[in-house]
Structure 1
């Protein structure tokens, strides 16, 4: 009992360093290697019921719709497509929504079986869970305020000088990218949530912001009267690989689970389903 408790404490410590987004940009793991699945894919998991979690806080991948009751987004559509192919059931019929911290910790200690929540597959997270192959490379973007940001800011290279105040969400890929690029800490304004970071830029309290490109596009598209715009090219795509996380407990119960999920992800890429989801949610 003591050993299990200590292990849980260690796992919590591991994941609190990278709770949101992709974590350390130098810590991205390579594609998961698993024995390719050669069996019949249709209905391969029809006898299984899984506890599945998501964040519900990151549009356009998983977020609550206008009535505040239903979770929608790219990840939820992808989950349904996987269900259609593989036939698994979701325990109680509902996907559990929680913040990234409890989400990753719940996977690590086996309280969840699967999570699909724009989670980046990093070596740190690999210590406590399995990951499928990447289903989307997000990339990062620079955001400015059309009215208040200095015109000299034209892309990510402009921000590396330390001359400008940059808003980021604490611990996400953008925060750690800037830190890894040796941008002075005094230039980085760290926020506990992406909401306050965006508000800070909207109000002209900072010069720029760095954030995941899909989330930025969605915000600008749906926020009425926003003064924000993306500038420059997207970058660090290879450092923001979204993958489906699977608990070690679930993998132990079905050693073929990871290879089956990988085969299903590949099928949805090959048959154009993934491209349709990208067009629906990310364009």
Structure 2
């Protein structure tokens, strides 16, 4: 009888240890899954110097910045190039975890996404065909055709002031098409973020020139869907701060802007 009790106790102990071992394995698997998570990042590769494709590789300020942040904070990313106008919708559809695309921090966008700390001071500029002398400010746009890129703050700004200033807005899917529209005389002026157009003109003679002062003081931010991925956003902010502190941030900007 005693022997039977001893054997029974032995089997109970073995079953308990097996159960505990099973629980431990499940936790480890869950932890491993979280560690192996790959975050999909939406980018717009028609937006140099922030994002562009060259020699089959994605390059630019945004590309290097998000890669360095991920490396600094120990998470994995996968870049997903797409049209800028569809990035926020893709986030809402669950196709993207993060967006870094020269995206200006605005109150309207804050209704849908949570932004990181600002990582770049931009601002819109008026751009005309080289040699044009009749446009210097927004007050000179009456009766003119204004080219903008769909989904951008430039498009929003131009649309909001169209009736007041008396001009027509024409929207394009990408920056090169917009640049061409003005350089060939089909549109009178375009609105573009200052660093983008300044870089484009410096790299190639587009037949364009910047006129007047910057129209606003936009700042770029990295976005995640509102109320989602708070831990990831915290890592992005921490990584961004560390890159600024250790000089890597300035190194990336200098590489593309010479500043």
- How many matched pairs? 224
* Aligned-pair CA distance for 1:272: 2.8
Describe the superposition over 1:45-69 as per-residue Cα deviations: whole angstroms up to 9, x where unpaired. Answer: 966432222122211111111x3x2
CA separation of 1:249 and 1:95: change in aligned 2, threshold 3 A: farther
Report the equivalent of 1:50.
39
Whether the 8 Å contact between 1:168 and 1:209 is mirrored in structure 2 is yes
Report the equivalent of 1:131.
115
Q: Distance in 1 between matches of 2:129 and 2:180?
A: 11
Describe the superposition over 1:183-224 as per-residue Cα deviations: whole angstroms up to 9, x where unpaired. Answer: 558522413233332112111233322211122112212224
Describe the superposition over 1:79-103 as per-residue Cα deviations: whole angstroms up to 9, x where unpaired. Answer: 121123111112xxx4111112432
* Aligned-pair CA distance for 1:130: 2.0
CA RMSD of superposed structures (Å) = 2.5
* Aligned-pair CA distance for 1:275: 2.2
CA separation of 1:196 and 1:260: change in aligned 2, threshold 3 A: closer
Report the equivalent of 2:195.
214
Q: Distance in 1 between matches of 2:98 and 2:108?
A: 17
* Alignment equivalent of 1:246, drawn from 198, 216, 224: 224
Q: Distance in 2 between matches of 1:146 and 1:46?
A: 53
Give structure 1 stretches of 5+ with no counterpart.
Answer: 1-44
Whether the 8 Å contact between 2:146 and 2:158 is mirrored in structure 1 is no
3-state SS, counterpart of residue 178 of structure 1: helix
Is the counterpart of residue 76 in structure 1 residue 63 in structure 2? Answer: yes
Describe the superposition over 1:151-203 as per-residue Cα deviations: whole angstroms up to 9, x where unpaired. Answer: 2423x34435x153332224422232233335558522413233332112111
* Alignment equivalent of 1:267, drawn from 227, 242, 246: 242
* Alignment equivalent of 2:145, drawn from 144, 165, 181: 165
Whether the 8 Å contact between 2:138 and 2:165 is mirrored in structure 1 is no
Report the equivalent of 1:143.
127
Taking structure 1 as the reference length, the TM-score comes to: 0.70
CA separation of 1:140 and 1:82: change in aligned 2, threshold 3 A: same
Q: Distance in 2 between matches of 1:99 and 1:206?
A: 22
3-state SS, counterpart of residue 221 of structure 2: strand
CA separation of 1:274 and 1:183: change in aligned 2, threshold 3 A: farther
